[in-house]
Amino acid sequence: MKRVALLGMPNTGKSTLFNRMTGGAARVGNWPGITVELLSGKILLGSDMVEIVDLPGIYDMHGFSDDEQVVRHFLHDNVPDLALVILNATQIERQMSLLLQLKQLNLNLVVLLNMADEAKKFGISIDAAKMSALLGMPIFLLSAKYGNGYQDALQAITKALRYPTPGMAEQLRSQLEQDEHLEAEMARVLKHAVQIPARMSDSLTEKLDRVMLHPWLGMPIFFAVMYLLFQGIFLFGQPLQNGVAELFIWLRETMLTPLLSGLPHAVQGLLLDGVYNGVATVAAFVPIIVLFFLFMALVEDSGYLSRAAFLMDALMARLGLDGRSFVMLLMGFGCNVPALMGTRVMRSRAMRLLTMLVIPFSLCSARLQVFVFIAAALFSSRAAPVVLFSLYLFSFAAAILTALLFKRRFKNTEPFVLELPPYRFPTARQMVLRGWLEVQHFLRRATKFIIAGVVLVWLLTHLPPSAAPAGSDTLAGMISGALSPIFDPIGINPQLTIALIFGFVAKEIVIGSLAVIYGLSGQALGNTLAQQLDWVQAYSFMLFTLIYTPCLATVATLRSESKNVGFTLFSIVWSLALAWLVSFGFYQGARALGY
C-alpha cells in the first residue's frame, strides 16, 4: 500500500485537508521508529489504495522539539511514497524555508498553498505555475476549508504517486544543516512568483481584536463566551438526551424483553440490567457530546483560542506556565489525551511536565456526561447550567492551585511566542465531520471499556448469587463497605463509591455503572438518585469526579509522554488527594452551614 505523509507548519490547515481527504475515516496507530501515535486514513486514489498519515506540525527540520524529532524519525524510518507539503499562502514568506528544507531531502513532493482564498483577500498574488517551474515540483493553490482547487490537487497527487520516491539523503545527513543557498533560493522564488502588498490588513479581525483583546474587557468576554457555550449545550442537549433515553426504554420494553424472555433469569438480568441499561444510559449522551464538539469547533477553528492564550499568558506566567498551557487546558475540555500530546510543542521539559500535571483537571467530555446527568436530576433547569459552569471554574481553580504549588519544582525559562491567526469560522461540513468523529470515538470506547465495565459492575453487584442485588453482602457491597471510612466524610454513599471505582477505567462508565447498580436507566435512574441524594452530596460527588484520577487512557498517555513512571504516579496520588480535600471541605462546610 502506498503512503502519503502530510507535512507543514502548525495552523496551515493540515487537519482540515486530512479530514477532507479521508472523510473522517481515520484511525490512530503506532509507527516503527517513533514512540507516539499518529492519525492515518485510507482512501482510493486512481487504482491504488493509499494511506494518508497526518504528521505533527513543525516549524523547522533543524529543530529539537519532540514534534520535530517525530517527523524526522518518521521520514527516516517510514519513507513515504509522497510528501504532501501544506503551506499557509498568507504567510508564504515565513513558510517557504520549511519547503526548501524538505526539497533538499530528495523526497517526492507535491505542494499545496492552502488558504488561497484568504491570501487573495489580503491582496497576495501567487503565480503557482511560475513557482512550480522555479522549484521543479507540482504546486497548487487550495482552500481546504471550502474545497476550491481540491480536485486539481487530488489529480496531481494521484499522478505523483505513479513515480517512485527518490532515495532519502543518507540519514537525513548534512541536508539538515543550514544550507547557505536556501535563503538565496527563497528570495529568488518569492521575487518572481509572489506579490505581497506593503501592508496587509483584515478589518474584521482588527475590529474584533480591539474588543476581544481589550485589557479590561477581554477576560470577562472570554468567560461569558464559555458560559454561553455551556448554556447552549444544556439548553439544546438535554431534550435530545431525554429523547434518546426514551427511545432506548421503548426498544427494551417492546423488543428486547420479549425476545430474551426464554433465557434464564440470571442471563436476562446480565443482558438487560447489565449490558443494555449501562450502554443505553451512556449512549443517551451522544447528542450532548456532538453538541459540545460542534460548539468547541466554533471556538477553536475561529482563532479565538489563540486570543484566549494571549489574554491568559500574563496570569499563566505567574504560575510557571504560558499561554500555550492555557490552550492545552482548553483542549482538555474535549479529551485529556490529545491535550497531553499537544504539549510536545514546548521545548522546555520543565514547562511540559508542569502543563501535563495540570491538564488532567480539565473537565473532559466524558466527565461532562456525568455532570449533565446529575445536574438535570437534582437541580432545576435554571440552576443546572450554573452548576455546570461552576464545575468548569473549579476545573481551572484546581489547575491554577497545582501550578502554584509545584512551579518551583518545574522551573521554566522558555520564551512564549504566539501567532494570532485571522478570525475564521468553520463550515457546516467541518462541524458535522467533527461531531461524527466524536461519535466514532464514543462507539469505539463503548465496544471496549464501557461494555466490559458494566458487565463487571453487574457481576460485582449480583455475586454471590445468594445475596440481594446491590446489597451490602455482595462483592460490590463489601468493597464499598471497606472504603466507607474514606468516602463517608465527603458524602459519597456505597453506590456512588462503586461507580467511582469503575471511573478509574473510563469516566463514561460512571453513569452506566449507576444504571447497572440500581437496575434503572434514563429518567427512572435520575428520579431514584434525586430521592437518595441531596444537592450537597450530589455536588460533592461531582467535585470528586472532576478532580480525582483521570481515565486509564490519560494515565497511559501521561506515562508515554513524560517517559517517567515516578511523575505519573505522583500525578495520580496528587489528584486523588486534592479531590478528597476539596470534596471534604465543600461537604463539611455546607453541612456546618446547615445545608
Q: Give the least confident one: 40-44, 287-291, 448-452.
A: 448-452
85 has pLDDT over 90: yes
pLDDT in tens, 87-133: 999 889 888 989 998 988 888 999 999 999 888 888 889 999 999 98
Q: What is the DSSP string of 282-341?
A: HHTTHHHHHHHHHHHHHHHHTTHHHHHHHHHHHHHHHTT--HHHHHHHHHTTT-HHHHHH
pLDDT digits (tens, 9 = 90+) for 520-553: 877 888 899 999 999 999 999 999 999 998 888 7
Least confident of 79-88, 334-343, 434-443, 448-457: 434-443
- The pLDDT value recorded for residue 172 is 44
pLDDT above 80 (res 255):
yes
Q: Is the pLDDT of residue 173 over 80?
A: no
**pLDDT over threshold 50, residue 432:** yes
Q: How far apart (Å, rounded) are the C-alpha atoms in residues 38 and 15?
A: 12
C-alpha 523/C-alpha 512 separation (Å) is 13
- What is the model's pLDDT at position 428? 78
> Considering only CA atoms, which of 592, 554, 86, 62 is closest in space to residue 328?
554
User: What would the mean pLDDT of 264-291 be, rounded to a whole number?
Assistant: 80
180 Cβ neighbours under 8 A, 6+ residues apart: none
528: which residues sit within 8 A by CB, 6+ positions away? 518, 520
CB–CB of 490/583 below 8 Å?
yes
Q: Average per-residue pLDDT in the chain?
A: 83
Look at strands 37-45 and 82-88 and give their pairing.
unpaired
Integer Cα distance of 595 and 593 in angstroms: 6
- The answer, yes or no, to whether residue 587 has pLDDT greater than 90, is yes
Q: Which pLDDT band holds residue 52 (cuts at 50, 70, 90)?
A: very high
Q: How much of the chain exceeds pLDDT 90, in percent?
A: 26
> Residue 23: is its pLDDT beyond 90?
no
pLDDT of residue 547: 96
Q: What is the pLDDT of residue 433?
A: 75
pLDDT band at 169 (very low <50, low <70, confident <90, very high): very low
Average pLDDT for 189-205: 73
- Cα(first)–Cα(last) distance of the chain, in Å? 65
Q: What share of the chain is helix, strand, coil (3-state, %, to 5)?
A: 65, 10, 25
| Residue 40: alpha-carbon gap to chain centroid | 16
Whole-number pLDDT of residue 175? 46
416 in Cβ contact with 324 (< 8 Å): yes
- Indicate the range of 32-41, 196-205, 306-315, 408-417 predicted with least confidence: 32-41
Write the pLDDT tens digit of every residue in 342-397.
787 676 788 889 999 999 999 988 898 899 889 988 998 889 889 998 998 999 99
Kindly list the distances between the CA atom of residue 200 and the CA atoms of 196, 213, 351, 589, in Å, as whole numbers in the listed order.
8, 20, 35, 57
Domains of the chain: 2-195 (3.40.50.300), 220-412+432-592 (no CATH)
Of 26-30, 407-411, 422-426, the one with minimum mean pLDDT is: 26-30
Question: In this predicted structure, what is the pLDDT of residue 345?
Answer: 67
Indicate if the pLDDT at residue 490 is higher than 90: yes
- Taken as a whole, the chain contains a residue count of 595
Beta-bridged to residue 37, according to DSSP, are: 30
Q: Does pLDDT of 438 surpass 70?
A: no
Which is more confident, 38 or 372?
372
Question: In angstroms, how far apart are the furthest CA atoms of the chain?
Answer: 85
Angstrom distance (rounded) from CA 275 to CA 279: 6
